[in-house]
Amino acid sequence: MATSTAILLFGLLGILLLVQCQQEEVKIDDGKERGQTGYILDSIPAEEVYTVSALIERANQRAGQDPGDPEVVEGDIAVPTGLQNADPCTARGCKWRRHGKKGHVYVPYIISNQYSSHEKAVIEKALQSFAQSTCVRFTRRRRQRDYIHIQSRSGCWSYVGRRGGGQVVSLARRGCVYHSVVQHELLHALGFNHEQTRSDRDLHVRILYQNIIKGQEHNFRKIKTNNLGTPYDYGSVMHYSRYAFSANRQPTIEPIPNPNVVIGRATQMSATDILRVNLLYRCK
């Protein structure tokens, strides 16, 4: 008797939860943002809307299509025209240089005057966050040859690593000026790739190709990354969310063995992201 009551209760609870989920989805469908943002809000659940990869995906629907913009692959990685991929380059000299007595790594930057003072403050805060936990120092450019030029172009994107000379980090005013997104793009500029492109990712996630938007499968390629001996991190600010590039509201990335583990919800650099910066740049 007790068992059947329990089953009945669980059943009711299940139905209640289901109804609640459906209500949330309806709320999103009817939300005022729908017209502005296009397909992305339609294809992911409410709680995933502000994940780094959803923000970037939403902002990047036209990325790389403006004249003068580089080609953008893997969601937000800029590649020089003619090259089809952005390989890890940190072994070949695309790290930023370390100098000075304290062993700091200086990354000179310019912020475009396109931004409002509030937007500038968000960007500056993310730039300075690296100084709190790593030896990387983003400093205003004076006359240094190599630097990053933060501009509002079409979407959020960055090259991987130092390219020599001035290099654009695009943070579109509409959609990219969030602490997590700024840190994410800066990590690309420092030489890091997306977490789920790691060479060993198949041990940690399953890619559900049947749910990916047709033509977007390339976003889920694997790269021969240097993992610096650090563990795979679902909480990395470089990890895509469960519904990245989903065509049908179904997950595109599922953690294994436990599919319920939270992935891609970081709102700032994780401890592992910080550790990797410190390892790659040999911070003391």
Q: Which residues bind Zn ion (CB under 5 A)?
A: 76
184 is in an annotated binding site: yes
CB of 181 to Zn ion, least distance (A): 9
Nearer to Zn ion (CB atom), residue 55 or residue 107: 55
Tokens of 139: 């400093």
| Cα–Cα dist 196/206, whole Å | 10
- Least separation in angstroms between CB 233 and Zn ion: 15
Q: How far is the CB of 220 from Zn ion (least distance, A)?
A: 13
Specify burial of residue 123 (Cβ count, 10 A radius: 0-12, 13-18, 19+).
buried
Residue 152 · residue 173 · CB < 8 Å: yes
Among 243, 197, 203, smallest CA distance to 220 is for 197
185 is a catalytic site residue: yes
233 with 265: CB under 8 angstroms?
no
Task: Give the integer Cα–Cα distance in Å for 31 and 182.
Answer: 26
Q: Residue with CB nearest Zn ion?
A: 76
C-beta closer to Zn ion: residue 69 or 76:
76
In the set 185, 195, 217, 254, the catalytic residue is 185
- Is 188 within any annotated ligand binding site? yes
In the complex with Zn ion, which residue's Cβ is closer, 237 or 274?
A: 237
As annotated, the active-site residues are: 185
Binding site, annotated residues: 184, 188, 194
**Binding site for Zn(2+): what residues are annotated?**
184, 188, 194
